[in-house]
Amino acid sequence: MDRASFFSPQAGRLIDAPRHAHARFGIGDVVRHKLIECRGVVFDIDPVFANSEEWYQSIPQDMRPIREQPYYHLLAENGDKAYVAYVSQQNLVGDGDGGPVDHPSVEQLFEDFRDGHYRLRRGLTH
């Protein structure tokens, strides 16, 4: 398998990852967590786990997802608060029909919500 490395600020190290990951969701997609009450909009994607070892070990072992899958950075919300979440692909399902996400940073990154998806602001795309 063809592999590449990238630096992860969260992990503080180089991460070895497949050159082509199969992400189920894209930037601007609205998703919901399968196991906990949380939904959010994707604003970044890591092809494999790229957070700290301490963060990974803090997940209860019986719920700990595999590392070799895409991980999504979300502007997330639950009934109590808005926050940034880091969630494995195996724990997410699409939730575009649930309406917009109520997170104070959404307007900084995205222009509008249409057809269950946010469009990234001009100037933030590559």
Do 55 and 71 form a contact (C-beta atoms < 8 A)?
A: no
| 71-77/39-46 β-pairing | antiparallel
Q: Of 79-83, 89-93, 119-123, which range is least confident?
A: 119-123
Q: What is the pTM of this model?
A: 0.83
Residue with tokens 């195996």: 90
Task: Kindly give, in sequence order, each residue whose CB lies less than 8 Å from that of residue 61, ignoring residues fewer than 6 positions away.
Answer: none
Examine the pLDDT at 14 and tell me if it is beyond 60: yes
> Given 3.40.50.10490, 3.60.20.10, 2.30.30.390, 2.60.120.10, which CATH number is that of 3-120?
2.30.30.390
